[in-house]
Structure 1
């Protein structure tokens, strides 16, 4: 499959954010640069999609990742990994841009880890006894200080001071002489020197990551620098990254989607409204047959009407230009953890060809198999709101049914919109103990330097690091947009936009369908009455859980 997605001529640099630079895209991309605890991602989960944070081994908490580290690694592995499972489309954002920022954040951390590895080897591994002693002390201190008991912090500090005092006494009263005496002194001192060196390295990368984080959420349109996606020669690792990015873009353009029961159509959000126009097909002239037509004829007329939604007789702005697409919907189980995209001669680069779409539209209307829907979609609020109205036409016996359903994908969880905050804490004043003051904390504290230095040598073999420190398991079936989307109904203006779209879409669909029926000699009186009733009822539309059947 990789051969289908190739660039020519030669290698090209992926341009991040070349088009469609949206707030939702950059909000998700900012997660790659964040330094929060990894468990914070659980706050962004919605009722249908749950992330899983794998905890570290009880004795290896020092190897635990931060949110940005775990998020970047998980997204890169899931979206660019060899032999990965199919992805769900991310409507309203550009997933390639998010992945590119994950690669850029990973590159910054890899450069930091390379330096930290060198420091660890020079000041730690060569003086292993002292390094292990200090590492054990810091691990005990971290475990003690994390307890809820207020005395735990003082006890942890006292432990560090006590060990430091013993180390000084050991230096002064060395129990042996010669080479081993000097080695023992170096084993105690050099790990501390290495810590100061490592702290400078960690602070430099932390500032760089936070600058990227701030720039993304400030609307600066900062691009991701990913030289590892530019192959230097055929067959190298960058070539695979380049092809996977091209594959990701092709999958994003696919017209194949999946219906998962109460979860709705994955990537489009749950179905909040449904309207049906179903009446008997009869000739307008008694004693004569109406002209035969197909479902595709009605759909084609409706498509032409939906494409004109942006036009209005009054200059009020109105609808922006919509995206009108023929969708092939595949049913999967509510608890399905993977999907399988269609393949064969009727599919080209994950997109079902037009002749196959026509066959499904005209023939697969009852029983098992894929179904056809015509969709009109708007991406609003800088990608935070995706409104999709789907239309399907079926003919069973002598009954024509036209169904319109509304789907809405809400804003990205507010967690992703938070800018980096200065690290500080509130403490009591020494003399006026009834008053408090705010104290600024270092951007990278002692425990964080030790954690990063301990993790750095193991970043060369991620499976071992994940086994020791845990990580992030993404919800499946995975798509960057829908798994961290909130409902739009909490935002009044977003809810209004979704509800207002239903009435004009429904009327355009009915007008186009009635025109086709009339042209083919069908009696449209009953259809017209039914359409008028629906048009009146839709004016008081309200969102419901249309995919949760109360049987």
Structure 2
């Protein structure tokens, strides 16, 4: 129900789309993820980016059709496009520190480039392959056998595969010279042998041109995003263009869901999208009257939270001009519990939700009433996006009152950089060969971007790209981890990077002190004895200075 409301609110807004707040300074992580759409690495390479919490899989195709197997860019682009824009898709996890819409747009742009290439390759296959089908089948069988043999771990397999191809080529020449047929069939047989080879040469030039374009975009993104994603199919030219309108609505819905204030707590996996909880500090003391002759003035958890919210807005200010905190994002979150191994999540819906946003009055009610037992919980979050989106630090604050005990809990969450796989630049394809004269010395010989096997793979896949499910069945596909969010699915731990770890640990102390100071002020104003709260706050202020990351979400009971 929440999705339908979101569509109505975000769909038909006139004018240019302006990036929403919070997207600045997130280019490094965004462009690193977007670069995967243009990569030509083997698809299995993405498995190197799996973590203990989130694991991608490569669904195998048919064992006899490995020639249809996609590469990393093809599989990533299709999987992300289907998961984030497909009809009837499940809810997504927010990608803090990135702009998921930009990543999806690059996936669409990469698919568009490949579709244009495949249109040419389909024409080549029709002219030089389908008309001369017997010859095409023989050549494809040779390449498939060669591909299978070359995969063997035996070092001699590569040489054997090459020898096989040369041997078949020699037999083909002999067949042309010693033709067993005469008349029309003799000429057809000769054409059936030669035409696929000519088609291969034609296809190689097409593939080389496209591979150069894709690699240029890949390297440009990692260098700072010089080339933008072009997706004219997302701009409806007339009211009748339903596909373009549907795509535009999907992108708008994606942007709306990214701004949602609803998140999910998945046990030891932490809050999805924010990372695991690395630290936790609790201040819990009894509520007693400051003046025995006067009752405590009634107040609610929301009054304490509102005071903390106002005080946190001053974090970027300090007594010394030494840099300090950048402006944080301060937001009220509704946290929904899900199972550790849950494969899907469900966002809150109903009249209290508008465009994936839980309304303020509903948040206030959750903060005041849902503190024990089942149901969603309220947290106040202060978040910094640092290192161009490679580090996301989130401190969450919750206030509960049970009987006569007020409890203020501050927890630290950190989401590290995207896996190094996504930040690797394209490497030039070269090999070392001996010099002609000084044979004891070597030199680098530049290789074509697309080798013989790759040209055949692309040409064979091209006619089937008009109906991708067939390609998924034949060659396999990338299966994304669920619940899926672009950022947290491939995030590494920040603790391996010294400065990132320092930033996460240093944020805890000032936030904790601001929270306690704001809470104690509210208690003072409402006639509560704050001596015990002050003593406990001083103790926590001392202990937090020796902060060290730990798995606070893993209860070793």
Q: TM-score range by the shorter chain?
A: over 0.9
2:121 to 100, 116, 124: 116
Is 1:187 matched with 2:192?
Answer: yes
Secondary structure, aligned partner of 2:131: helix
Q: Does 2:309 correspond to 1:300?
A: no
For structure 1, the 5+ residue unaligned runs are none
* Residue equivalent to 1:341: 347
Q: CA deviation at 1:172?
A: 1.7
Partners of 1:437 and 1:467 lie apart in 2 by 43
Residue pair 2:11, 2:253 contacting (<8 A) in 1 also: no
Alignment partners' CA distance in 2, 1:290 and 1:419:
63
Q: Does 1:201 align with 2:200?
A: no
Which residue is 2:42 aligned to? 37
Bigger mean CA deviation after superposition, 175-184 or 300-309:
175-184
Tell me the alpha carbon deviations over residues 267-311 of structure 1, each in whole angstroms, 9 at most, x when there is no partner: 000000000000000111013211000000000000001111000
Aligned to 1:247: 253
Measure, in 1, the Cα distance between the counterparts of 2:287 and 2:26.
48
- Tell me how far apart the structure 2 counterparts of residues 488 and 528 of structure 1 sit (CA, whole Å): 33
Aligned CA-pair RMSD: 1.8
User: Contact 1:262–1:547 at 8 Å: present in 2 too?
Assistant: yes
Q: Equivalent residue of 1:481, what SS?
A: helix
Pair 116,18 (structure 1): closer, same or farther in 2 beyond 3 Å? farther
- Rounded Cα–Cα distance in structure 2 between residues aligned with 1:228 and 1:256: 31
- For 1:92 and 1:533, the matched residues in 2 are separated by 33
Counterparts of 1:191-230 in structure 2 under 5 Å? 191-230=196-235
CA deviations on 1:309-339 (whole Å, 9 max, x unpaired) are: 0000100010000000000000000000000
Of 68, 72, 76, which residue of structure 2 is paired with 1:71?
Answer: 76
Shift of 1:241: 0.8
* Aligned match of 1:4: 9
Q: Distance in 2 between matches of 1:536 and 1:157?
A: 69
The secondary structure found in structure 2 opposite 1:59 is helix
Say if 1:21 and 1:221, in contact at 8 Å, map to a contact too: no
- State the secondary structure of the residue aligned to 1:60: helix
Structure 1 pair 464/88, CA: closer, same or farther in 2 (3 Å)?
same
Deviation readout 1:347-372 (Å, 9 max, x if unpaired) = 00111000000000000000000000
2:397 to 391, 394, 400: 391
1:280 equivalent among 275, 286, 302: 286
The aligned counterpart of 1:146 is 151
Distance 1:18 1:368, change over 3 A: closer
Cα separation, 2, equivalents of 1:13 and 1:32 = 23
Q: Which runs of 5+ in 2 are unaligned?
A: none
Q: Is the 8 A contact 2:149 2:161 kept in 1?
A: yes
Partner of 2:139: 134
Q: Which moved more, 1:156-165 or 1:454-463?
A: 156-165
Q: Contact 1:425–1:438 at 8 Å: present in 2 too?
A: yes
The offset of 1:434, in angstroms, is 7.3
Counterpart residue number, 1:476: 482
| Alpha-carbon distance in 2 for matches of 1:430, 1:317 | 60
CA distance in 1, matches of 2:68, 2:435: 35
Which of 42, 54, 61 aligns to 1:56? It is 61
Question: CA 1:503 to 1:15, structure 2 compared with 1: closer, same or farther past 3 Å?
Answer: closer
Number of the residue aligned with 1:425: 431
**In structure 2, C-alpha distance between the alignment counterparts of 1:305 and 1:15, rounded to whole Å:** 28
Deviates more, 1:227-236 or 1:489-498: 227-236
Instruction: Select 1:367's aligned residue among 359, 370, 373.
Output: 373
Contact map agreement 1:13 1:230 (CA 8 A) in 2: no
The aligned residue for residue 323 of structure 1 is 329
Task: Give the Cα–Cα distance (whole angstroms) in 2 for the partners of residues 224 and 429 of structure 1.
Answer: 43
Equivalences for residues 522-537 of structure 1 within 5 A: 522-537=528-543
- More displaced stretch, 151-160 vs 12-21: 12-21
Looking at structure 2, the residues matched to 81 and 118 of structure 1 have their Cα atoms a distance apart, in angstroms, of: 29
Counterpart position of 1:454? 460
State the 1:232 CA deviation: 2.2
Summarize the Cα distance change of 1:402–1:51 in structure 2 as closer, same or farther, 3 Å threshold. Answer: same
Aligned residues: 550
Q: CA deviation at 1:499?
A: 0.4
Change (3 A) 1:404 1:59: same
SS at match of 1:150: coil
Q: 1:494 to 1:21 in 2, by over 3 A?
A: closer
For residue 358 of structure 2, what is the aligned residue in structure 1?
Answer: 352
Distance (whole Å) between structure 2 residues aligned to residue 220 and residue 370 of structure 1? 40
Farther off after superposition, 75-84 or 232-241:
232-241
Q: State the shift of 1:392 in Å.
A: 0.2
Q: In the alignment, is the contact (CA less than 8 A) between 2:431 and 2:444 conserved in 1?
A: yes
Is the alpha carbon distance of 1:306 and 1:14 closer, same or farther for their aligned partners in structure 2, counting shifts above 3 Å? Answer: closer
CA pair 147-426 structure 1, distance change in 2 beyond 3 A: farther
The TM-score normalised by the length of structure 2 is 0.96
Q: 1:155 aligns with which of 160, 173, 194?
A: 160
Q: Measure how far apart 1:7 and its partner are.
A: 3.0
Q: How much does 1:55 deviate?
A: 2.1
Distance 1:302 1:128 in 2: 74
